[in-house]
Amino acid sequence: MDVTSTALPDIKVYRPKRFGDSRGFFTEWYNARTFAAAGLADVFLQDNLAFSAAAGTLRGLHFQKPPHAQGKLVGVLRGAILDVAVDIRRGSPTYGKHAAVELTAELGNQIFVPPGFAHGYCTTRPDTLVVYKVTDLYHPETEGGLLWNDPELAIAWPLDAPPQLVERDARLPRLTALGESPFIYEGSR
């Protein structure tokens, strides 16, 4: 397992080993023991799949508030995305900053976004299939989010045209309108 750091200390990228031959490859996409040895011992309760037909589909920036905050282990089974995590923990030295990582099916890399971060991604290829494990079940009453194009966040989304976006995401608040974040910085993981 290769583990790399990002621009934010609490956001890590994991790349499980692949064993290839003339037929293709084999990998353990998720193995609790291997991930724990690499520093990620969170327990996951739900797996999600999201298919996007068009490149330029943007999903996010989302989070679930405590007591149902979710950590997310995100990867790509087909296609590619730019995955983004924004620190929204009160008192964090990186509050309002983001990490952006390209995840591709070819690389087999995965990003862990812990609770306290808004998360989103933009597809960079058509017919992209994203899989992510979460540490808590879906609770719609705890949903929150940030506007994907908030100028304060300065995210360089890979877009040549307006994104494919649902109306709900187009109406999310800016960081300054979030008010007092429900997440509190308690040191790095």
Q: Is 98 a catalytic residue?
A: no
Amino acid making up residue 129: L
Record the tokens describing residue 168, joined without a space. 């709900």
- Closest to 95 (Cα-Cα) out of 189, 183, 6, 19: 183
List b or e across 149-173, with b for residues whose CB sees 16 or more CB atoms inside 10 angstroms: bbeebebebbbeeebbbeeebeebe
Tokens of 119: 């998360």
Catalytic-labelled residue, pool 62, 98, 119, 121: 62
Q: What ranges make up the beta strands (E) of 18-71?
A: 18-21, 24-27, 46-52, 58-64
Active site residue: 98, 119, 121, 132, which one? 132
As a whole number of angstroms, the distance between CA 71 and CA 45 comes to 10
d(C-alpha 9, C-alpha 41), whole Å: 17
What would the two tokens of residue 93 be? 């030295």
Our answer to whether residue 139 is catalytic in this structure is: no
- Mark residue 151 as left, alpha or beta (left: phi above 0; alpha: psi -120 to 50; beta: remaining): alpha
- Annotated catalytic residues are 62, 132
